[in-house]
Structure 1
Amino acid sequence: MKLFVKILIPVAVLLVAWLIARSIISSGPEPRTRPSFSAAQSVEAVTLKREDYQVRVLAQGTVRPARESALVPEVTGVIKTLSPNLVKGGFFTKGELLLAIDEQDYAIALAQAEAGYAQASAVLQEEKARAAQAVADWKSLGRKGKPSGLTAREPQLAAARASLAAAKASVQQARLDVARTQINAPYDGGVLEIDVDEGGFVSRGMTLGKIYSTGAAEVRLPLADRQLTYLTLPNPGENTDKPSVILRASIGGREQTWEGSLIRAEGVDATSQQLNVVALVENPFVVSADSTPLRVGQFVSAEIHGDLLQQVFVIPASSLREGGEVLLVDDENTLRKRAVTVAWTDDEFVAITEGLNDGDVLTLTTLSAVTDGTPVRATIDGVAPKNPRGGSAIAGSRSNRSESGGNTDDSQGSNGIGDDRAARMEKLKAMVDNGEALPDDVVKRVQARLDAGERVPPWLKAAVMKQ
Structure 2
Amino acid sequence: MFRKFFTIFGTIGIFVVFGLLIAGIFMLRPQPERQEPEITAPSVFFTVANTQSVTLDVAAQGEVRPRTDINLTAQVAGRVVDTSDHFVNGGAFDEDDMLIKIEDADYRAAAAAAKARVAQAEQALRLEEAEADLARRDYEELDLGAGEQPSDLTLRIPQLAQARANFEAAQAEYDAARLNLERTTIRAPFPGRVRERIAGIGQYVTPGAQLGRIFSTDIAEIRLALTDNDLAKLGLPLAFTETEDEPGPVVRMSAMIAGETHHWEGRIARTEGAIDAATRQVIAIAVLDDPYGEGSDDGTPLAMGLYVDAVITGKPYENAIVLPRSALYGRDTVYSISEDDTLVAHKVNIVTTDRDTITIASGVEPGARIVTSPLRGASEGDEVSPADPLQGTPGAENPDEPDPASARTTAQNVTSGD
TM-score category by the smaller chain?
0.5 to 0.7
1:197 counterpart SS class: coil
After superposition, what is the alpha-carbon deviation per residue over 1:343-391, rounded to whole angstroms, capped at 9, x for unaligned? 54558x845449998799xxxxxxxxxxxxxxx9x9xxxxxxxxxxxxx
Q: Tell me if the contact between 2:242 and 2:268 (Cα under 8 Å) persists in the aligned partners.
A: no
How far, CA to CA, are the matches of 2:364 and 2:128 in structure 1?
Answer: 101
Q: 2:302 aligns with which of 289, 294, 302?
A: 294
Shift of 1:90: 1.7
1:246 counterpart SS class: strand
Q: 2:246 aligns with which of 235, 240, 246?
A: 240
2:196 counterpart SS class: strand
Determine the structure 1 residue equivalent to 2:271. 265
Shift of 1:201: 2.1
Shift of 1:197: 1.7
Deviates more, 1:50-59 or 1:232-241: 232-241
After superposition, what is the alpha-carbon deviation per residue over 1:180-229, rounded to whole angstroms, capped at 9, x for unaligned? 11121222211233322222222223343332221111100011233223
Q: Tell me if the contact between 1:73 and 1:203 (Cα under 8 Å) persists in the aligned partners.
A: yes
Shift of 1:278: 0.7
Unaligned runs of 5+ in 2: 1-47, 330-347, 370-388, 401-418
How far, CA to CA, are the matches of 1:214 and 1:344 in structure 2?
Answer: 37
Matches within 5 A, 1:13-24: none
Question: For residue 308 of structure 2, what is the amino acid of its counterpart?
Answer: V
Determine the structure 1 residue equivalent to 2:283. 276
Q: Tell me if the contact between 1:230 and 1:307 (Cα under 8 Å) persists in the aligned partners.
A: yes
1:151 counterpart SS class: coil
Q: 1:138 to 1:218 in 2, by over 3 A?
A: closer
Q: Tell me if the contact between 1:232 and 1:243 (Cα under 8 Å) persists in the aligned partners.
A: no
What is the Cα-based RMSD across aligned positions, in Å?
A: 4.3
Determine the structure 1 residue equivalent to 2:76. 75
Shift of 1:140: 9.0
Question: For residue 262 of structure 1, what is the amino acid of its counterpart?
Answer: I
Shift of 1:125: 4.2
Determine the structure 1 residue equivalent to 2:154. 151
Shift of 1:322: 12
Determine the structure 2 residue equivalent to 1:225. 228
After superposition, what is the alpha-carbon deviation per residue over 1:302-330, rounded to whole angstroms, capped at 9, x for unaligned? 10111223445669xxx978999xxxxxx
1:149 counterpart SS class: coil
Sequence identity (%): 35
How far, CA to CA, are the matches of 2:166 and 2:298 in structure 1?
Answer: 64
Number of equivalences: 314
TM-score by structure 2 length? 0.62
Shift of 1:179: 0.9
How far, CA to CA, are the matches of 2:322 and 2:257 in structure 1?
Answer: 31
TM-score by structure 1 length? 0.56
Determine the structure 2 residue equivalent to 1:179. 182
Q: Tell me if the contact between 1:79 and 1:197 (Cα under 8 Å) persists in the aligned partners.
A: yes
Unaligned runs of 5+ in 1: 1-46, 325-340, 361-375, 379-393, 398-414, 417-438, 442-467
How far, CA to CA, are the matches of 1:92 and 1:351 in structure 2?
Answer: 51
Matches within 5 A, 1:59-138: 59-128=60-129
Question: For residue 290 of structure 1, what is the amino acid of its counterpart?
Answer: D
Q: Tell me if the contact between 1:233 and 1:264 (Cα under 8 Å) persists in the aligned partners.
A: no
1:218 counterpart SS class: strand
2:266 counterpart SS class: strand
Determine the structure 2 residue equivalent to 1:335. none
